[in-house]
A and B are shown apart, each in its own frame.
Chain A
Amino acid sequence: MKDFHEKLLDQAQEIWNAFLNHRFLKMTADGSIPDEAFKTWMKQDYIFVQEAIPFVAVLLAKAPIQLRSNLIQVLPALERELELFRRNAATHGVELESAVPSPTCYAYIQFLMTTAYTCTFEEGFMVLYCAEKAYLDSWMEVKKNLKIRSPWQDFIDKWTNEEFQQYVDWLATTLNELAMGKPERELRRMQELFLITARYEYLFWEMAATEETWPV
């Protein structure tokens, strides 16, 4: 009998394979990623991580009391992620603070915030799990295929280290507990949201690779 998080991942396998095999990740691993493309990703992900903070904060407001002390740790962790971006921006000459969100980045952020506001805690928590698991798996894929030390090693290390793995494990375990006993209809709704989140994860790499801009 599979755990709920495993069922979600099984169902999303096609999307997962699509982003694990995305050329952005392949090129980061083999070192051929153009500087400009990676810098674009950095600017967009910086914006995204900034908005992940209110996303988690809204979830915290809705969280059952016993989850608060663990969930609250995510906020300083996200602040530390922002610091990582700033340090790398200084090293690589990237202007982070003036970046404008691309359509995909902006769409993903609105989806996160709307989910946090309009959906149940469980649904929001699951979206958080999906995004973090996608990142763990994506950067593990890069690490696996890495030939030589990357100029972007900090990012590869950040999302594959012991601490991050344990965090994603905690998200999965907690999600499974939250899903227990939930009616079928609610679980189906959660599955829909999981697939949408996974799609946004794929589209984020695509956005970086194509240096997406607003058509209007």
Chain B
Amino acid sequence: MKFTDFLWNSIEGIYSKILQHPFIEGLADGSLAEGAFRFYVVQDALYLRDFARGLAILGAKAPKDEWLMMFAEHASGTIQVERALHDSFFKNWQLTAGDVYNTPMSPTNLFYTSYLLRIAYERPFYEGMGAFLPCYWIYWEVGQKLEKRGSSKEIFRRWIETYASEEYASIVRQVLEAMDQVARELTDKQKEMVRNHFIITSKLEYLFWDMGLNEQTWTV
């Protein structure tokens, strides 16, 4: 069994909860409130800025030059995706860059990005990979699932297309291949550390959808 398959098996329960989440169901059947979707996309733009920086740190720690290049490209690509959100969704909603970047990060968003950055700075390269993988991978799986189901709303279809695209698929395959290569050198204890991060950030992925649906803010 590939190490990445072993990782995916660890989050079977979490992943099925994600697919059943009202936010995801709402994207598919068009019932998701546009306010919730807008809230989520704004928070996602804020998230991606930190995610990109996290990828750059992973790149700096990469033992192989090809992985440095991969993460540096992905970091840059993430910012490009984030900018594309502005050119499409934010323009439609007449949200300026100021509107978006002056929005405070919601609690779950701050939790998730803090976790990623902490792990990237503090832990070994292979653990960082484990922590960052769910974001890449779950979005790909969810994108593919939703593309099959289709969506009645054009705006949701556009979002789904990004994560179901062949371009995105090749990025995810690249990082999964790298994780499997890295895992060949790891001890069982080290693999367990990777798996723990993978599980935590998969949970944070679920919580991120939840945050979107509930338009989560700070209670004080």
Residues B1-52 near A (CB distance < 8 A) = 14, 17
Contact indicator B118/A215 (Cβ below 8 Å): no
A84-92, A120-128, A199-207 - interface stretch: A199-207
For B219, give its contact among A106, A203, A216 (CB under 8 Å). A203
Dominant secondary structure at the A interface:
helix
B58-66, B108-116, B138-146, B147-155 - interface stretch: B108-116
- For the A-B complex, the count of residue pairs with Cβ-Cβ distances under 8 Å equals 51
Tell me, rounded to whole Å, the shortest Cβ–Cβ distance linking B96 to chain A. 20
| Inter-chain contacts of A203 with B (CB < 8 A) | 107, 219-220
A38 at the interface (CB under 8 A from B): no
For B111, give its contact among A107, A199, A202 (CB under 8 Å). A107
Contact indicator A113/B206 (Cβ below 8 Å): no
| Inter-chain contacts of B111 with A (CB < 8 A) | 103, 106-107, 110-111
B203 at the interface (CB under 8 A from A): yes
Contact indicator B219/A114 (Cβ below 8 Å): no
A166 at the interface (CB under 8 A from B): no
Chain A 156-185: CB-based contact to B (< 8 A → 1; otherwise 0): 000000000000000000000000000000
Dominant secondary structure at the B interface:
helix
Residues B97-122 near A (CB distance < 8 A) = 107, 110-111, 113-115, 117-118, 121-122
Q: A14-B220, A110-B111, A202-B220 are in contact. Are A216 and B118 (CB under 8 A)?
A: no
Q: How far is the CA of A18 from the CA of B218 in the complex (A)?
A: 13
For B220, give its contact among A111, A199, A214 (CB under 8 Å). A199
| Inter-chain contacts of B127 with A (CB < 8 A) | none
| Inter-chain contacts of B218 with A (CB < 8 A) | 199
| Inter-chain contacts of B110 with A (CB < 8 A) | 107, 111, 196
Contact indicator B107/A118 (Cβ below 8 Å): no
Q: How far is the CA of A203 from the CA of B107 in the complex (A)?
A: 10
Contact indicator B114/A114 (Cβ below 8 Å): yes
Q: How far is the CA of A117 from the CA of B121 in the complex (A)?
A: 7
B183 at the interface (CB under 8 A from A): no
Task: Enumerate 15 A-B pairs (CB-CB under 8 Å) in ascending A order.
Answer: A103-B111, A103-B207, A106-B115, A107-B110, A107-B114, A110-B111, A111-B110, A114-B115, A114-B118, A114-B121, A117-B118, A117-B121, A202-B219, A202-B220, A216-B206
A-B interface, 10 closest residue pairs, ranked by CB to CB distance from nearest: A110-B114, A107-B111, A117-B121, A114-B114, A113-B118, A18-B220, A114-B117, A110-B115, A216-B206, A114-B118
